[in-house]
Chain A
Amino acid sequence: MILDALRSAWRHRFGSALGAIGIALAVALTVTVASLHSSLLGSIDRFSDQLAQGADVEVLGNVDGGVTEELAREVLGMEGVGVVVPMLTSQVIVDGERTILVGVDERVLALKGVFSSELLVRVVSNLEDGRLLFGPAFDAEMATVHEFYTAASGHQEISSAGVIEVAEARSFNGGRFVVTNLEAGRRLLHLPDRADSLFVVGDGSRSAHALASTVKEKLGGRAAVAQTGIRVDQVSAVADPIRLAILLAGSASFAIAGVLIFDAVAIGVERRRRELAVLRTIGATSRQLMLSFMLESSLVAIFGAVLGASAGLIMARITVSQLPPFLVSAFGVEIGFLPAWWSIPLTSLLGLVIAVTSAGIAARRITIISPAEAVRSADVSSLSEKQKSRLFLGGAGVLSLVLAALFALFEEEWTGVIAVMLVIIGIAGIASGVSSWFVAGATALAVRLPRIWLVTEAALRSSHRRTAVCATVIGVALTLVVMTDGLARNQVETMRATLEPLTKLPLLVDTSSGDEAPANVLFPDSWTTELDELAGVTVTGSGQFTFVIHKNDRVLFQGVSGPTSLAPVYALADTSVRDRIFDENAVIISTQFADRFHVREGSSFVLRTPSGPHTVEVVDIVPSASWPNGLVATSLERAQSWYARPGVSFIELAFDGTVPEDAAVAAVKEFTGQTGFPVYVVSGALQVDRTAAATVQATAALRAIELVVLIVMALVVLNAQVSMIWQRRREFALLRAIGGRPGYAAMTVLVEVAAVTLGAALLGAIGGVWAHRLASSIAESLSGFPVFYKWEFAGLFLIIPLTVVVACAGAAFPAYWVAKIRGVDAFSEE
């Protein structure tokens, strides 16, 4: 039976291929997203696990600067605490690349991580200053001198005391780390008494959750406290919305795969009608025949799932290696490829269920095949299709749009999602409902075509069902593509808008290349004076970025040196109030921060800092696309003192005209080059361009959705046209027999597709423009970044012709096929 089904699938390989492609696309998309998500979270989780397996609670500093030994002692004195393990896990620069410096002492033996080895502790305890154990990513010859930098310590030279070669070490941050003992690490960093994390092991008297609550309560906000895995939670907050958005696209792909299989089986039933009638005559039951179709489809689905899972894993592997730098740099952990193996059986099973269900529904037509058809001759009149009224669908579509408008009024996230869904459903309904108008329009166009007008007219008159299918799919596809294109363009423009003040900056000395999150690395404060003394340049401002923990969320903190700074958030704020940040405990916050933590202009909130809690007043709220959880800006002086972080992340320079600009830039580059820091010296405009380019990269997910939507649209057009040609093959054969050129029939296919696509595309574009408007606020919630809505006309100019071209590409094979039909077929009965 399976062999028969395989043979049948092969015999109808075109339909089988369509169904398999549909399932493969859906499985591939879902496996990619799941694997990407598991790689992100898994890498962070593995990082935490390798550091501190066995710990019940992790205490992190409210800033990336960490916590003190005094705090460690305080935690150790708390009820339920057995051991407190302080560790350094600082980002440093070794040989120009970000590396993790791990500092441990014998207390680490209370844990079960990579560094909880007696031998390792013994070795690092006896290391001389300046000699470290290197991770396996380094080709560390003992004699080689390595360059080491941090903001506090500046440039130092270190050398290798050996390379850790154990297998687990390779998976810890990709093997890119150096290890020393806690005290030596502190001296190296010039941060006495510091640790990045305290890992707490309970005495067994209470659960990890209860222990975390106790420690959190006692510390009263002086540090972030959570059960281990706090980093994973933070990543989840950023990654989950992306996953949600793409999983929605995956679900849509499964639905479309179901439609493709339904169509393939429906065509199969139609093609084999006579054969099925014969089988019915000789005693086969409808159920047996339906089961054969369902078995065939399940084999096709299995094939598609295998194909899709393989493609998904490859796509995920590529995507992980191409992750946007801002995401990777923000968490300071190397993201490895960790496939979500569970997603393969799950999505395959889902694909199988959808395939079998779709096939079962389509194969129900078998029940209406009468055994009498086996002895009846072909009847041309049976091929004629009566136009059915679809106005009720159009009415339902209009109703959906009205409801969408009502839901949009509420301006809530969930009502926005419903509104967008209703717009899509509405466009689908209207496109299907008015598809007969597209036929009329296309017919009006067709009668003007020389030679093929009547043939095209004939094709169009038989096209109501397939026109409705094509119009619906094309309309919905356009709605989605116009919406996502608008969102993608808006995101890039938003990023440009929020960084706009920087474009006026002649020269910027930055720790970040523009496509990364602001780095933890800081330049020494002395640089501002030294750069100011260089011929041809004047320092106009400087500032510091750091990630701080606010209510367990990772928030970006900005310190600004003075009123002449063009630092984006500060420079975008209201000029009448922004300078208050230099005089009092005041901050400027981003809209993200305001929404996430429910803070309003004029209100106050408490910032927990290593120097204690500080109540700050919000003087202005500025739209900023800097970080999903939001940004807080205050004066550089406060940022440095509150968080005990000397140094600056960026220095703003202007040319004073005393020397040519090229010479001034060369002088700045020479100065920074000598320091050995990874420094980016660029114009403000170039920095903005780089950030915009990184944003374009980040919108790749939206572009991927557009691509999938367009491919599926082309497949549906292909399927509909193939179905049409199969039904009308005798007509085309007749045309060839009586002297119609092959191109005439092919042209009818293309004219029909072009006309219907154009009509549906215009309708879809209208829906897309509306959906784009509605989706802007949802995208803001999903991506975490603000999206300034702007009507994007340029995209429409590109998308509508592109859609027509893609749809015609989908019709290219049917057009080719129809041109190959021979006149001989007009003589045969079948």
Chain B
Amino acid sequence: MKSVDDAASIGKFPAAVAVNMAAVLIDVNKTFRRGRDEVNALRNVSLQIHSRSFVAITGPSGAGKTTLLQVLGGIERPDSGKVCVGGKDIGELSEAERTVFRRRNLGFVFQFFNLLPTLTAWENVAVPLTLDGARRSVARTRAKEMLDLMGLAKRAEHHPRELSGGEMQRTAIARALISEPALILADEPTGNLDSETGRSVLRLLRQVVDDRGGTVVMVTHSLEAADVADRSIRFVDGVPLPA
């Protein structure tokens, strides 16, 4: 309960408060059009996510969990409201600025790993660095160090098709961490793994918060996964409910 508060409890979020938060959302709304219907994915969502915390977002399908992650990641713009990440109002950033912001400040972990099949494990991990202009030698050294931390040193030269599900997800986590982002956004990171492998991935994410001082926001259906978090927020019909 220490890291997530209802936004209303601290009033209108002075900037000074927002700076101390990993992320803050104020009155965020997001509506999608599906055919002729409008779907309110997020309705007046106000949240604050403290730095160095592990937050689980739970809820049924279509509750707006993934949309929340996309809005936090600057991938989707909210229709209204403010989204501050690391003290920066990302709603005020241009598309190009948000792209660079994501590259340097955010890490993503996906349910289906999203590894580039033609690249080896270390090359997959190195992608965010190369997008920022890193030289090959620097990128390789840093990527291999990161894989070593994930216990995948011996798999560095392997392609995704040669890795197990758990190894692929750990490689994806290494990729998410390589830019040392303040905030990790994980979308069902255990959804495609068996329970034992899933648990090891959750332990890894927990270590990111405890040992590396990172902040993790994880969308999950799994109650077991939510238990690993410091705080769970349940979403129903685009509205966060206190757990």
Interface residues of A (CB under 8 A from B): 377-378, 380-381, 383-385, 447, 450-455, 457-459, 461-462, 730-731, 733-742, 744, 822-824, 826-827, 829
Contact = CB atoms under 8 A, between A and B. Distances in A.
B135 to A, nearest CB: 9
Contacts, number: 117
B61 interface: no
A607 B119 CA distance: 78
B116 interface: yes
Nearest to A461: B118
Contact of A377 (B112, B114, B131, B139): B112
Interface string B130-147: 111100100100000000
A744 B99 CA distance: 12
A683 B136 CA distance: 67
Given A384-B118, A737-B73, A738-B102, A378 B131 contact: no
B73 to A, nearest CB: 7
Contacts of A730: 112, 114
A826 B160 contact: no
B197 interface: no
Contacts of A733: 114
Contacts of B70: 823-824, 827
A381 B128 contact: no
A786 B80 CA distance: 76
A253 B111 CA distance: 46
Contacts of B103: 738-740
Contact of A827 (B96, B118, B187): B187
Given A380-B112, A384-B117, A454 B73 contact: no
A736 B99 contact: yes
Given A458-B119, A829-B112, 14 more contacts: A380-B112, A383-B117, A454-B126, A462-B117, A462-B118, A737-B102, A737-B108, A738-B176, A740-B103, A741-B96, A824-B75, A824-B76, A826-B110, A827-B66
B127 interface: yes
B118 A738 contact: no
B130 to A, nearest CB: 4
16 contacts: A380-B113, A380-B168, A381-B160, A384-B118, A385-B118, A447-B136, A451-B131, A458-B119, A461-B119, A730-B112, A731-B116, A735-B127, A737-B102, A737-B108, A739-B99, A826-B114
Given A451-B133, A455-B130, A740 B123 contact: no
B175 A739 contact: no
A738 B127 contact: yes
A377 B191 CA distance: 11
B131 A735 contact: yes
The 10 closest A-B pairs by CB, nearest first: A739-B103, A381-B161, A384-B117, A461-B118, A739-B102, A823-B75, A454-B130, A734-B114, A462-B118, A458-B116
A738 B116 contact: no
Contact of A734 (B104, B116, B159): B116
Contacts of A734: 110, 114, 116
Nearest to B163: A381
Contacts of B116: 458, 731, 734
Contacts of A451: 130-133
A731 B114 CA distance: 7
B149 interface: no
A827 to B, nearest CB: 5
A739 B104 contact: yes
Chain A CB within 10 Å, residue with most, of B110, B116, B136: B116
B161 A384 contact: yes
Interface in B137-175: 139, 159-161, 168, 175
A384 B115 CA distance: 11
B100 interface: yes
Nearest to B119: A458
Contact of A738 (B108, B112, B168): B108
A383 B118 CA distance: 9
B3 interface: no
B118 A380 contact: no
A457 B119 contact: yes
Nearest to A734: B114
A40 B167 CA distance: 73
B104 to A, nearest CB: 7
Contacts of A735: 127, 131
Contact of B127 (A383, A455, A459): A455
Contacts of A461: 118-119
Contacts of B44: none
Contact of B99 (A384, A740, A826): A740
B31 interface: no
A820 to B, nearest CB: 12
Contacts of B40: none
Q: How many B residues are at the interface, by size bracket?
A: 35 or more
A733 B99 CA distance: 12
B69 interface: yes
B193 to A, nearest CB: 12
A828 to B, nearest CB: 9
Interface in B88-106: 96, 99-104, 106
Nearest to A381: B161
Contacts of A736: 75, 99
A735 B119 CA distance: 13
A453 B136 contact: yes
Nearest to B118: A461
A746 B108 CA distance: 22
B48 to A, nearest CB: 23
A263 B180 CA distance: 43
Contact of A380 (B99, B115, B126, B176): B115
A454 B108 contact: no
Nearest to B66: A827
A284 to B, nearest CB: 25
Given A738-B102, A738-B131, A378 B112 contact: yes
A380 B96 contact: no
B106 to A, nearest CB: 8
Contact of B117 (A380, A453, A744, A827): A380
Nearest to B188: A827
A741 B98 CA distance: 10
Contact of B131 (A381, A740, A827): A740
B99 A741 contact: yes
B138 to A, nearest CB: 12
A434 B13 CA distance: 63
B235 to A, nearest CB: 15
A737 B159 CA distance: 21
A381 B160 CA distance: 6
Contacts of A829: 111-112
A103 to B, nearest CB: 80
B214 to A, nearest CB: 16
Chain A CB within 10 Å, residue with most, of B114, B123, B160, B187: B114
A734 B104 CA distance: 15
Nearest to B98: A739
B15 to A, nearest CB: 25
A383 B161 CA distance: 9
B139 to A, nearest CB: 7
Contacts of B102: 737-739, 823
Contact of B100 (A731, A739, A827): A739
Contacts of A827: 66, 69-70, 110, 187
A241 B103 CA distance: 63
Interface in B24-61: none
Contacts of A447: 136
Contacts of A458: 116, 118-119, 123
Contacts of B133: 450-451
A377 B192 contact: yes
A454 B175 contact: no
B54 to A, nearest CB: 20
A737 B139 CA distance: 19
A380 B101 CA distance: 27
A447 to B, nearest CB: 7
Contacts of B160: 380-381, 384
A380 B76 contact: no
A457 B140 CA distance: 14
